[in-house]
Structure 1
Amino acid sequence: MHRSRLCALVIDCKVEDIDAAADFWSRALGKPVRKNAPVDSGYREIETRDDELIMLLQQVEHPSRTHLDIETDDLDAEVRRLEALGARRVEFIKRWWVMEAPTGHRFCVVRPQRGPLEAHDNANVWSDDPGKPGAR
Protein backbone atom coordinates (compact mmCIF):
# COMPACT_ATOMS: atom_id res chain seq x y z
CA MET A 1 0.00 0.00 0.00
CA HIS A 2 1.04 3.56 -0.54
CA ARG A 3 -0.31 7.02 0.23
CA SER A 4 -0.97 10.02 -1.95
CA ARG A 5 -2.70 13.39 -1.79
CA LEU A 6 -3.13 16.64 -3.66
CA CYS A 7 -0.25 18.89 -2.65
CA ALA A 8 0.29 21.80 -5.03
CA LEU A 9 -1.23 24.20 -7.50
CA VAL A 10 1.37 25.14 -10.10
CA ILE A 11 0.90 28.25 -12.23
CA ASP A 12 2.77 27.65 -15.49
CA CYS A 13 3.89 31.04 -16.83
CA LYS A 14 5.08 31.57 -20.39
CA VAL A 15 6.90 34.80 -19.54
CA GLU A 16 10.36 36.32 -19.82
CA ASP A 17 10.40 37.59 -16.22
CA ILE A 18 9.35 35.01 -13.61
CA ASP A 19 9.92 37.54 -10.81
CA ALA A 20 7.37 39.93 -12.34
CA ALA A 21 4.92 37.02 -12.65
CA ALA A 22 5.54 36.09 -9.00
CA ASP A 23 4.97 39.72 -7.98
CA PHE A 24 1.63 39.79 -9.82
CA TRP A 25 0.35 36.52 -8.31
CA SER A 26 1.64 37.48 -4.87
CA ARG A 27 -0.33 40.73 -4.97
CA ALA A 28 -3.38 39.14 -6.61
CA LEU A 29 -3.59 36.42 -3.95
CA GLY A 30 -2.53 38.58 -1.02
CA LYS A 31 0.35 36.28 -0.12
CA PRO A 32 4.07 37.05 -0.22
CA VAL A 33 6.66 35.35 -2.37
CA ARG A 34 8.56 32.95 -0.09
CA LYS A 35 11.92 34.57 0.59
CA ASN A 36 13.71 31.54 2.07
CA ALA A 37 12.72 29.12 -0.67
CA PRO A 38 15.55 27.71 -2.76
CA VAL A 39 15.62 29.73 -5.93
CA ASP A 40 15.69 27.70 -9.11
CA SER A 41 15.95 30.00 -12.11
CA GLY A 42 12.51 28.97 -13.37
CA TYR A 43 10.51 28.58 -10.15
CA ARG A 44 9.08 30.84 -7.44
CA GLU A 45 6.94 29.88 -4.45
CA ILE A 46 4.05 31.85 -3.02
CA GLU A 47 3.98 31.56 0.78
CA THR A 48 1.12 29.42 2.09
CA ARG A 49 0.27 27.95 5.49
CA ASP A 50 1.13 24.33 6.21
CA ASP A 51 -2.55 23.37 5.91
CA GLU A 52 -2.88 24.95 2.43
CA LEU A 53 -1.72 23.74 -0.97
CA ILE A 54 1.82 24.59 -2.00
CA MET A 55 1.60 27.30 -4.65
CA LEU A 56 4.39 27.44 -7.24
CA LEU A 57 5.06 29.52 -10.30
CA GLN A 58 6.99 27.77 -13.04
CA GLN A 59 8.52 29.50 -16.06
CA VAL A 60 7.60 27.40 -19.13
CA GLU A 61 7.85 27.38 -22.92
CA HIS A 62 4.33 26.01 -23.51
CA PRO A 63 1.19 28.19 -23.22
CA SER A 64 0.40 29.49 -19.74
CA ARG A 65 -1.94 27.27 -17.70
CA THR A 66 -2.25 25.76 -14.23
CA HIS A 67 -1.65 22.18 -13.18
CA LEU A 68 -1.91 20.12 -10.01
CA ASP A 69 0.76 18.10 -8.24
CA ILE A 70 -0.09 14.86 -6.43
CA GLU A 71 2.51 13.83 -3.86
CA THR A 72 3.10 10.20 -2.96
CA ASP A 73 5.35 8.03 -0.85
CA ASP A 74 5.65 5.50 -3.73
CA LEU A 75 6.05 7.20 -7.11
CA ASP A 76 5.89 4.02 -9.21
CA ALA A 77 2.84 2.62 -7.40
CA GLU A 78 0.93 5.90 -7.68
CA VAL A 79 1.73 6.25 -11.39
CA ARG A 80 0.50 2.68 -11.98
CA ARG A 81 -2.67 3.39 -9.96
CA LEU A 82 -3.39 6.50 -12.01
CA GLU A 83 -2.70 4.66 -15.28
CA ALA A 84 -5.24 2.02 -14.21
CA LEU A 85 -7.74 4.88 -13.85
CA GLY A 86 -7.03 6.04 -17.42
CA ALA A 87 -4.16 8.53 -17.07
CA ARG A 88 -1.07 8.24 -19.25
CA ARG A 89 2.59 9.00 -18.67
CA VAL A 90 3.84 11.98 -20.67
CA GLU A 91 7.41 12.53 -19.46
CA PHE A 92 9.74 11.85 -16.52
CA ILE A 93 11.47 15.10 -15.44
CA LYS A 94 14.25 15.16 -12.83
CA ARG A 95 12.40 13.17 -10.13
CA TRP A 96 8.69 13.37 -11.01
CA TRP A 97 6.24 12.20 -13.66
CA VAL A 98 4.17 14.49 -15.88
CA MET A 99 0.88 12.69 -16.47
CA GLU A 100 -2.20 13.38 -18.56
CA ALA A 101 -5.70 12.64 -17.30
CA PRO A 102 -8.30 11.12 -19.63
CA THR A 103 -9.79 14.64 -19.73
CA GLY A 104 -6.59 16.02 -21.31
CA HIS A 105 -5.41 17.88 -18.18
CA ARG A 106 -1.75 17.62 -17.30
CA PHE A 107 -0.64 17.00 -13.70
CA CYS A 108 2.52 15.84 -11.95
CA VAL A 109 3.17 12.98 -9.56
CA VAL A 110 5.90 14.01 -7.12
CA ARG A 111 7.62 12.74 -3.99
CA PRO A 112 6.41 14.11 -0.60
CA GLN A 113 6.87 17.86 -0.41
CA ARG A 114 5.99 18.59 3.23
CA GLY A 115 7.11 15.54 5.16
CA PRO A 116 5.55 12.11 5.68
CA LEU A 117 2.06 11.69 4.28
CA GLU A 118 0.77 9.64 7.20
CA ALA A 119 1.13 12.68 9.46
CA HIS A 120 -1.79 14.39 7.67
CA ASP A 121 -5.50 13.61 7.91
CA ASN A 122 -6.12 14.14 4.20
CA ALA A 123 -3.75 11.33 3.11
CA ASN A 124 -5.37 8.45 1.22
CA VAL A 125 -4.23 4.88 1.62
CA TRP A 126 -4.73 2.77 -1.49
CA SER A 127 -5.43 -0.96 -1.40
CA ASP A 128 -3.96 -3.51 -3.82
CA ASP A 129 -6.75 -2.57 -6.25
CA PRO A 130 -5.34 0.53 -7.99
CA GLY A 131 -8.76 2.11 -8.38
CA LYS A 132 -10.18 1.67 -4.89
CA PRO A 133 -9.16 3.43 -1.70
CA GLY A 134 -8.36 1.09 1.16
CA ALA A 135 -8.95 1.44 4.85
CA ARG A 136 -6.77 3.86 6.77
Structure 2
Amino acid sequence: MNDEDFNKFTPLDFLELAVELDKFSDELNIDNSVVERNIFGRLYYSSFLYVREWLSKHWKYKSKGPRDHTTMPNFIKSKGPFGEVENNLISDLLLELKKLRHQSDYYLEIPEEGTDEYKKWIFEDVDYAFNSARYIIDSFKKLNIK
Protein backbone atom coordinates (compact mmCIF):
# COMPACT_ATOMS: atom_id res chain seq x y z
CA MET A 1 0.00 0.00 0.00
CA ASN A 2 1.35 3.42 -0.84
CA ASP A 3 1.53 6.31 1.64
CA GLU A 4 -1.31 8.22 0.02
CA ASP A 5 -3.77 5.31 0.30
CA PHE A 6 -2.65 4.52 3.84
CA ASN A 7 -3.15 8.11 4.99
CA LYS A 8 -6.69 8.41 3.55
CA PHE A 9 -8.05 6.22 6.35
CA THR A 10 -10.31 7.43 9.16
CA PRO A 11 -11.75 5.28 11.97
CA LEU A 12 -15.23 5.77 10.51
CA ASP A 13 -14.07 3.85 7.43
CA PHE A 14 -14.11 0.70 9.57
CA LEU A 15 -17.73 1.46 10.51
CA GLU A 16 -18.61 1.85 6.83
CA LEU A 17 -16.89 -1.44 6.01
CA ALA A 18 -18.94 -3.17 8.71
CA VAL A 19 -22.13 -1.67 7.25
CA GLU A 20 -21.20 -2.93 3.78
CA LEU A 21 -20.32 -6.40 5.06
CA ASP A 22 -23.66 -6.60 6.85
CA LYS A 23 -25.61 -5.22 3.88
CA PHE A 24 -24.12 -7.63 1.35
CA SER A 25 -23.56 -10.67 3.60
CA ASP A 26 -26.17 -12.75 1.75
CA GLU A 27 -24.43 -12.11 -1.58
CA LEU A 28 -20.99 -13.11 -0.36
CA ASN A 29 -19.81 -16.66 -0.89
CA ILE A 30 -18.66 -16.84 2.74
CA ASP A 31 -20.20 -18.40 5.83
CA ASN A 32 -22.16 -15.90 7.93
CA SER A 33 -19.92 -16.58 10.93
CA VAL A 34 -16.92 -15.21 9.02
CA VAL A 35 -18.85 -12.07 8.10
CA GLU A 36 -20.09 -11.49 11.65
CA ARG A 37 -16.65 -12.07 13.15
CA ASN A 38 -15.23 -9.43 10.83
CA ILE A 39 -18.07 -7.03 11.62
CA PHE A 40 -17.38 -7.32 15.37
CA GLY A 41 -13.72 -6.52 14.76
CA ARG A 42 -14.35 -3.53 12.52
CA LEU A 43 -16.97 -2.08 14.90
CA TYR A 44 -14.62 -2.36 17.86
CA TYR A 45 -11.71 -0.75 16.03
CA SER A 46 -13.89 1.98 14.56
CA SER A 47 -15.07 2.94 18.05
CA PHE A 48 -11.71 2.44 19.71
CA LEU A 49 -9.74 4.48 17.18
CA TYR A 50 -12.35 7.23 16.93
CA VAL A 51 -12.46 7.68 20.71
CA ARG A 52 -8.68 7.44 21.12
CA GLU A 53 -8.10 10.15 18.55
CA TRP A 54 -10.88 12.36 19.97
CA LEU A 55 -9.55 12.04 23.52
CA SER A 56 -5.98 12.70 22.39
CA LYS A 57 -7.00 15.81 20.48
CA HIS A 58 -9.61 17.28 22.83
CA TRP A 59 -9.20 15.75 26.30
CA LYS A 60 -5.47 15.44 27.10
CA TYR A 61 -5.39 11.68 26.75
CA LYS A 62 -1.87 10.37 26.19
CA SER A 63 -1.86 7.28 24.01
CA LYS A 64 0.05 4.32 25.40
CA GLY A 65 0.09 2.26 22.20
CA PRO A 66 -1.17 -1.32 22.62
CA ARG A 67 -1.98 -0.66 26.28
CA ASP A 68 -4.71 1.79 25.16
CA HIS A 69 -7.14 -1.10 24.93
CA THR A 70 -7.13 -1.20 28.74
CA THR A 71 -6.01 2.28 29.79
CA MET A 72 -8.43 4.22 27.59
CA PRO A 73 -11.66 2.71 29.00
CA ASN A 74 -10.27 3.34 32.50
CA PHE A 75 -9.44 6.92 31.53
CA ILE A 76 -12.98 7.44 30.24
CA LYS A 77 -14.44 6.12 33.52
CA SER A 78 -12.34 8.39 35.69
CA LYS A 79 -11.74 11.47 33.51
CA GLY A 80 -14.07 11.23 30.52
CA PRO A 81 -15.89 14.22 29.02
CA PHE A 82 -19.35 13.15 30.17
CA GLY A 83 -20.97 12.76 33.56
CA GLU A 84 -20.16 9.76 35.74
CA VAL A 85 -23.03 7.59 34.49
CA GLU A 86 -22.33 8.29 30.81
CA ASN A 87 -18.57 7.84 31.22
CA ASN A 88 -19.19 4.44 32.81
CA LEU A 89 -21.66 3.44 30.10
CA ILE A 90 -19.33 4.37 27.25
CA SER A 91 -16.39 2.64 28.90
CA ASP A 92 -18.48 -0.50 29.44
CA LEU A 93 -19.77 -0.50 25.86
CA LEU A 94 -16.23 -0.13 24.54
CA LEU A 95 -15.09 -3.05 26.70
CA GLU A 96 -18.02 -5.17 25.49
CA LEU A 97 -17.11 -4.46 21.87
CA LYS A 98 -13.52 -5.39 22.69
CA LYS A 99 -14.72 -8.67 24.23
CA LEU A 100 -16.90 -9.45 21.19
CA ARG A 101 -13.92 -8.82 18.92
CA HIS A 102 -11.70 -10.96 21.12
CA GLN A 103 -14.22 -13.82 21.10
CA SER A 104 -14.54 -13.57 17.33
CA ASP A 105 -10.80 -13.52 16.71
CA TYR A 106 -9.59 -16.16 19.17
CA TYR A 107 -12.34 -18.75 19.64
CA LEU A 108 -13.40 -21.26 17.01
CA GLU A 109 -16.35 -22.41 19.12
CA ILE A 110 -18.40 -21.12 22.05
CA PRO A 111 -16.87 -22.54 25.25
CA GLU A 112 -18.58 -25.48 26.90
CA GLU A 113 -21.46 -24.66 29.21
CA GLY A 114 -20.44 -24.59 32.85
CA THR A 115 -16.82 -23.56 32.17
CA ASP A 116 -15.36 -20.29 33.44
CA GLU A 117 -14.95 -19.04 29.87
CA TYR A 118 -18.62 -19.76 29.13
CA LYS A 119 -19.66 -17.78 32.21
CA LYS A 120 -17.71 -14.75 30.91
CA TRP A 121 -18.98 -15.13 27.33
CA ILE A 122 -20.95 -12.23 25.83
CA PHE A 123 -23.92 -13.51 23.84
CA GLU A 124 -24.71 -10.37 21.84
CA ASP A 125 -25.41 -10.10 18.14
CA VAL A 126 -24.24 -7.84 15.34
CA ASP A 127 -27.20 -5.46 15.78
CA TYR A 128 -26.22 -4.91 19.40
CA ALA A 129 -22.63 -4.26 18.34
CA PHE A 130 -23.72 -1.76 15.65
CA ASN A 131 -25.92 0.06 18.16
CA SER A 132 -23.10 0.17 20.71
CA ALA A 133 -20.51 1.44 18.23
CA ARG A 134 -22.83 4.12 16.89
CA TYR A 135 -23.80 5.19 20.40
CA ILE A 136 -20.14 5.57 21.41
CA ILE A 137 -19.13 7.48 18.28
CA ASP A 138 -22.24 9.67 18.23
CA SER A 139 -21.77 10.57 21.90
CA PHE A 140 -18.35 12.03 21.15
CA LYS A 141 -19.52 13.69 17.93
CA LYS A 142 -22.29 15.47 19.85
CA LEU A 143 -19.75 17.14 22.13
CA ASN A 144 -18.81 19.26 19.11
CA ILE A 145 -15.57 20.57 20.55
CA LYS A 146 -13.41 22.36 17.98
TM-score (norm 1): 0.23
| Structure that is richer in strand per residue | 1
| Structure that is richer in helix per residue | 2
